[in-house]
């Protein structure tokens, strides 16, 4: 039976390892010197970067396949599975490197920033390194190195994928609908009520109550204004991605404003930059929501205007 082809051609394997190390070093330097800083850098980078959520499925699937093949191949009836494992691991390491490069491109060019973004980026960089180390350790001494490094890569991969999912779908996406006993067993707190102000449907307690139509009632914000912002604006104005320095994931942050100062002048809709922007013609540079997102309806704009006119209060 043929031996491992990489070991049969040590020269080729060494060249591959050197090329890989150079690429990884480039990735490391990019992550270090050009971290995601919340500013956008070019459209082509963003276009290519947006392939990242697609690309990550490659290394994820390939990497979990490796221990499955190694273990299944222990059976005397399926030794061929172990032969495939080495090649698939090399492929997984290459795919992890590509996904990490593209993830950095997305974060840097797309105007991302924040603790989770940075952590996810470094997880990806180290995962690319660990995957390759596993490939390198396979079939070499000490024998224990390979299973340890492989297990480490799988654990780091799960962790990296989880933070990536959190960045994409929002905090608590996985646990929100989790059965309560299971959640308690894992020690995950119940979904925060504060988050409901922006993301959830109106609170039943005030629905239809006096707050529902009176814009000076603090409940008006959560009932009518927050859902509009949540639908049309928050994708670009949240912790991981505060375009223009403006965050809308809480009323306090919204009132704080962005790079150019406050965007809401309570009681004075005509002086509120936020309102000015949503009223502009969509072709205007300042128009919001930008990037061809669905414009606010006249009724939604009117709701925001009434809320600001009444003092921009919140409950």
Interface contacts to ligand HEC, rule CB under 6 A: 232-233, 235-237, 243-246, 257-260, 263, 273-274, 277-278, 286, 288-291, 293, 296
Q: Which is nearer to ligand HEC, 82 or 231 (CB)?
A: 231
Q: How far is the CB of 64 from ligand HEC (least distance, A)?
A: 34
- Shortest distance (Å) from residue 44 CB to ligand HEC: 17
**156-159 contacts at long range (C-beta below 8 A, 24 or more positions apart):** 156/123, 156/126, 156/127, 156/130, 157/59, 157/60, 157/63, 157/64, 157/96, 157/127, 159/123
Q: How far is the CB of 296 from ligand HEC (least distance, A)?
A: 5
By C-beta, is 21 or 270 nearer to ligand HEC? 270
Beta carbon of residue 229, minimum distance to ligand HEC (angstroms, whole number): 6
User: How far apart are the C-alpha atoms of 86 and 292, rounded to whole Å?
Assistant: 46
**Running DSSP on this structure, what letter comes out for residue 3?**
-
The CB-nearest residue to ligand HEC is 258
CB nearer to ligand HEC: give 6 or 249. Answer: 249
For residue 201, give every residue at least 6 positions away whose Cβ sits within 8 Å of its Cβ, in sequence order, or none: 227
CB of 280 to ligand HEC, least distance (A): 10
CB of 243 to ligand HEC, least distance (A): 3
Report yes or no: 247 and 198 within 8 Å, Cβ to Cβ. no
Got the DSSP string for 25-84?
A: HHHHHHHHHS---S-B--HHHHHHHTTHHHHTHHHHHHHHHHHHHHHHTTSTT-THHHHH
Nearer to ligand HEC, 277 or 313 (CB): 277
**Cα–Cα–Cα angle for 90, 15, 32, rounded to 5 degrees:** 75
- Measured from the CB of residue 136, what is the shortest distance to ligand HEC in angstroms? 42
Rounded Cα distance, 288 and 275, in Å? 9
Between the CA of residue 112 and those of 33, 107, 153, 276, what are the distances in Å? 15, 5, 26, 25
Quick check: 275 and 308 in contact, CB under 8 A? yes
Query: In the bound complex, what is the minimum distance in angstroms from residue 85's beta carbon to ligand HEC?
Result: 43
The nearer residue to ligand HEC, 276 or 313, going by C-beta atoms, is 276
For 239-288, where are the alpha helices, taking DSSP H only? 251-256, 273-279
Q: How far is CA 205 from the centre of its chain?
A: 33
* CA nearest to 41, candidates 145, 112, 136: 112
Which C-beta is closer to ligand HEC: that of 116 or that of 305?
Answer: 305
Residue placing its CB nearer to ligand HEC in the complex, 258 or 269: 258
Q: Which is nearer to ligand HEC, 291 or 299 (CB)?
A: 291
Beta bridge partners of 237: 242
């Amino acid at each position: 039976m043929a031996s491992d082809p990489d070991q049969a051609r040590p020269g080729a394997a060494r060249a591959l390892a050197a090329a890989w190390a150079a690429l990884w070093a480039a990735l490391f330097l990019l992550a270090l010197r050009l971290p995601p800083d919340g500013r956008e850098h070019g459209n082509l980078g963003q276009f290519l970067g947006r392939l990242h959520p697609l690309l990550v499925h490659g290394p994820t699937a390939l990497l979990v396949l490796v221990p499955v093949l190694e273990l299944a191949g222990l059976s005397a009836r399926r030794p061929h599975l172990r032969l495939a494992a080495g090649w698939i691991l090399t492929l997984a390491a290459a795919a992890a490197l590509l996904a990490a490069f593209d993830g950095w491109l997305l974060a840097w060019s797309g105007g991302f920033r924040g603790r989770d973004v940075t952590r996810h980026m470094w997880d990806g960089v180290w995962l690319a390194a660990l995957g390759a180390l596993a490939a390198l350790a396979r079939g070499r001494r000490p024998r224990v190195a390979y299973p340890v490094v492989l297990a480490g890569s799988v654990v780091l991969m799960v962790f990296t994928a989880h933070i990536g999912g959190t960045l994409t779908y929002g905090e608590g996406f996985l646990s929100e609908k989790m059965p309560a006993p299971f959640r308690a067993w894992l020690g995950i707190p119940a979904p925060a009520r504060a988050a409901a102000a922006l993301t959830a449907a109106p609170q039943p307690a005030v629905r239809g109550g006096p707050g529902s139509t009176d814009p000076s009632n603090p409940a008006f914000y959560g009932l009518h204004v927050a859902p509009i912002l949540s639908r049309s604006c928050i994708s670009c104005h949240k912790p991981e991605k505060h375009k223009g320095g403006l965050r809308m994931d809480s009323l306090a942050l919204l009132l704080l404003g962005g790079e150019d100062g406050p965007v809401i002048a309570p009681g004075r809709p005509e002086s509120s930059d936020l309102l000015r922007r949503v009223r502009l013609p969509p072709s205007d540079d300042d128009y919001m929501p930008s990037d061809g997102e669905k414009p606010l309806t006249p009724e939604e704009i009117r709701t925001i205007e009434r809320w600001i006119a009444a003092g921009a209060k919140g409950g």
